[in-house]
Structure 1
Amino acid sequence: MRRAVAFVGLLGIAVAGISLSIMPMSRPAAAPSEQRTFLIPASDGYGVADCISTRSECGKIVANAWCESQGFGKAVTFGIADRADFTGTVTKPTPAAAAEQPLSITCGE
């Protein structure tokens, strides 16, 4: 009786292992033509605002890394977000409000 139970248990483990090994590995990825814009607070604590807001080479690296972490290929555009994108208004910002504007990263292929 013990051998029969052990055999059934071993057979179950073998079947489960085989089924898990032949299952396709899926990775969440965006559709190839899909683009998405992310708004990131300028005071996020990581210090990436200087790179992204000046559109320097380090900004390109940070934006591409952000897009890759979200399942996209690379950054299409990045920089300071347009006020209409996050408030729905187009009035001129004050200098203090400009410092608080979020960063924008648009990810694509």
Structure 2
Amino acid sequence: MRRAVALIGLLGIVGAGVSLSVLPTTKTSAAASDNRTFLIPASDGYGVADCLSTKSECGKIVADAWCEAQGFAKAASYGLADREDFTGTLSKARPAASVEQPLVITCGE
């Protein structure tokens, strides 16, 4: 009986080792052809709106870091979002007095 339990335990350990050896060893990431666009409120609390909205060098760093955190390689584009990006299909909207325009980051390859 002890031998049967020991043999089953040994086979379980060997089976676990084999299954772990077939798992991919590289970090998974988004497919290279996939692009994804993120809308970020301008008043997100991190203070990166100035960098992203002016398309300065610090904006590139912030956008690339954002994309890497989301599983993408780098930012394809970034800046202020167009009104169509966040209002949908509204034809005419009443202009808001103090609403900040959101930021957009498009991540890709």
**By the TM > 0.5 criterion, same fold?**
yes
Q: Which residue of 2 aligns with 1:46?
A: 46
Over residues 7-58 of structure 1, what are the superposed CA-to-partner deviations in whole Å (9 max), with x where a residue is unaligned?
A: 2112211211221122234754333222221101112122211211121111
Q: Which runs of 5+ in 2 are unaligned?
A: none
Q: Which residue of 1 aligns with 2:98?
A: 96
Structure 2: how far apart are the matches of 1:6 and 1:29? 40
Over residues 73-99 of structure 1, what are the superposed CA-to-partner deviations in whole Å (9 max), with x where a residue is unaligned?
A: 2111111111121013576955622xx
Q: Which residue of 2 aligns with 1:17?
A: 17
Instruction: After TM superposition, list the pairs within 5 Å mapping 1:1-109 onto structure 2.
Output: 1-25=1-25, 27-88=27-88, 89=90, 93=95, 96-97=98-99, 100-109=100-109
Secondary structure, aligned partner of 1:29 = coil
CA RMSD of aligned residues (A): 2.3
Structure 2: how far apart are the matches of 1:77 and 1:66? 12
Output the amino acid matched with 2:15: V
Structure 2: how far apart are the matches of 1:58 and 1:92? 33
Output the amino acid matched with 2:108: G
Secondary structure, aligned partner of 1:84 = helix
The 1:21/1:48 distance shift into structure 2, 3 A limit, reads same
The normalised TM-score by structure 1 is: 0.81
Identity %: 68
The normalised TM-score by structure 2 is: 0.81
Output the amino acid matched with 1:58: C
- Displacement of 1:62 in angstroms is 0.8
